[in-house]
Amino acid sequence: MIPYSKQSISIIDTLRVARQVKFKSLTQGNQIQEFEKSVADYVGSKYAIAVSSATAGLHLAHLAIGHPIGSNVATSPISFVASANTIIYSGHIPFFVDIDFDSGNMSVDKLTDLINQTKINTVVPVHYAGLPCDMKRMHEVCKEKNISIIEDAAHALGATYDSGEKVGSCTYSDMTVFSFHPVKSITTGEGGMITTNDKKLYDKLLKLRTHGIQRKEVGFQNKILGYSDGQPNLWYYEMDSLGYHYRLTEIQAVLGYSQMKKIDKFMKRRQTIAKRYDKYLLNIKNIKKSQSKNNSGSANHLYPIKIDFTKIKSSRNDLMNKLREIGIVTQVHYIPIPLHPYYKQLGYDVDNLPNTMNFYFQILSIPIYPKLSILKQFKVYKNLNKLLT
């Protein structure tokens, strides 16, 4: 089978993980800090905080910003449900902004309309398929209204803005959140990372990641219990806020650190595969690129295509089944979040999301991952061409 995506684990990755398991600590050691530094150095941020998942990262990011309960948060309807779920976890109210049909990313024009009509406290743009949103313009719009920005970059480690900075540098945001799920740019199995340039946010995130427990380096509130002869007691710790157990393990961190050494190689391979698809698609009349805008800075996490199923004899489900029968796995990214029963019960609908719905009905993700060979990629093209022309 040719999956729509898969991890790229080398023998070196495996040996490093095995050595960590056999000879070193499994949790709360120094490998996490090394992994965090490797990501911060790569994206150009001052700080990076490893967490158990991107979902955990988004949740903590909302809590660290600290807007009042019930604040309004704008995000994209074309995303995994975590983008909106974490808004609700944090006690806030999601607002879904229609997308730009040519990119799949949040429309800045639609966002501008929303914030001119409604008090929005935070915006969570989603870099769909690894293609960065128009963050420079979005930042300008949000800055005028003092709106916080948390970038959902689960797809976008390795991506670059048009202005040249890497996604994760937080040039245009308060925080950026990455995912290390097996199909992402690099993997730790499960896991995520928050980057920021704000020391206050960094300190809050560190506490929230570990149950709200204060580090001894910062100083304890209880001077009698916390210190002996002016020195912090070795056993002592304080919980001064309600946090969570969102830590990454040392095993995951050592895998992530090993994977970061190959990130440039992974990005180059994904770009090569995407460009080859671009050429192939010119020969299939019923397929269009889903992201027709300039995508030179994309991390190419996904390669979604658009198919107008009203013009062909096959439904999307039929096409996916036919491809699977010959060993090609495809996927749909994503079901618009307001269509899920939970969100419908909350009163959400898609009445004001025409681009979102049009995009959803046409979208299909075809295989892309660093180890996808030319022969397998040609098999994908050949069979799509056969089934759609």
Distance CA 32, CA 49 (A): 9
User: Can you state the percent helix, strand and coil of the chain, rounding each to 5?
Assistant: 40, 15, 45
**pTM across the whole model:** 0.96
Domain of residue 315: give its range: 263-388
Give tens-digit pLDDT for 84-124: 999 999 999 999 999 999 999 999 999 999 999 999 999 99
**236 and 323, same domain (yes or no):** no
Give tens-digit pLDDT for 41-79: 999 999 999 999 999 999 999 999 999 999 999 999 999
User: Looking at the domain assignment, is residue 3 inside a domain?
Assistant: no
User: Looking at the domain assignment, is residue 4 inside a domain?
Assistant: no
To which H or E segment does residue 269 belong? helix 263-281
- Which residues is 195 bridged to in the sheet? 48, 176
Which sign, positive or negative, has the C-alpha torsion 291, 293, 294, 297? negative
**51 and 174, same domain (yes or no):** yes
pLDDT at 218: 67
**228 and 279, same domain (yes or no):** no
pLDDT at 17: 94
Cis peptide before 334 (omega within 30 of 0): yes
Amino acid identity, position 76: S
Domain boundary among 260, 292, 317: 260
**50 and 155, same domain (yes or no):** yes
Torsion angle, CA of 288/159/99/171, rounded to 10 degrees? -160
pLDDT at 216: 65
Amino acid identity, position 89: Y
**50 and 74, same domain (yes or no):** yes
In the three-class reduction of DSSP (H, G, I as helix; E, B as strand; rest coil), residue 148 is classed as strand
* Mean pLDDT across the chain: 95
**372 and 226, same domain (yes or no):** no
pLDDT at 209: 96
Torsion angle, CA of 267/298/362/281, rounded to 10 degrees? -60
Residue predicted with more confidence, 24 or 361: 361
Amino acid identity, position 351: D
User: Looking at the domain assignment, is residue 215 inside a domain?
Assistant: yes
**246 and 292, same domain (yes or no):** no
Residue predicted with more confidence, 360 or 30: 360
Number of domains in the chain: 2
To which H or E segment does residue 28 belong? none
User: Looking at the domain assignment, is residue 39 inside a domain?
Assistant: yes
300 with 4: CB under 8 angstroms? no
Domain boundary among 213, 234, 260: 260
Please give the average per-residue pLDDT across 376-380, as a whole number.
97
Which CATH number characterizes residue 267's domain? 3.90.1150.10
269-272 long-range contacts (CB < 8 A, ≥24 apart) are 269/370, 269/371, 270/130, 270/299, 270/300, 270/301, 270/368, 270/369, 270/370, 271/298, 271/300
User: Looking at the domain assignment, is residue 2 inside a domain?
Assistant: no
**209 and 295, same domain (yes or no):** no
Amino acid identity, position 121: N
User: Looking at the domain assignment, is residue 102 inside a domain?
Assistant: yes
**240 and 298, same domain (yes or no):** no
pLDDT at 217: 64
- Which residues is 228 bridged to in the sheet? 231
Token output for 294: 């300039």
pLDDT at 257: 97
**377 and 250, same domain (yes or no):** no
pLDDT at 295: 74
Give tens-digit pLDDT for 193-234: 999 999 999 999 999 999 999 776 667 889 899 999 989 998
**152 and 249, same domain (yes or no):** yes
> Which one, of 145, 138, 129, lies nearest residue 172 by Cα?
138
**213 and 299, same domain (yes or no):** no
Which CATH number characterizes residue 178's domain? 3.40.640.10
Token output for 22: 């056999």
Confidence of residue 291 (pLDDT cuts 50, 70, 90): confident
Give tens-digit pLDDT for 126-161: 999 999 999 999 999 999 999 999 999 999 999 999
> Which one, of 190, 241, 247, 238, lies nearest residue 33 by Cα?
247
- What DSSP character marks residue 11? H
b/e 228-243 (16+ beta carbons within 10 angstroms → b): eeeeeeeeeebeeeeb
User: Looking at the domain assignment, is residue 199 inside a domain?
Assistant: yes
Say yes or no to pLDDT of 314 above 90: no
Q: How many CB atoms lie within 10 A of CB 202?
A: 19
Domain boundary among 219, 240, 260: 260
User: Looking at the domain assignment, is residue 63 inside a domain?
Assistant: yes
Rounded percentage of the chain residues whose pLDDT exceeds 90: 87
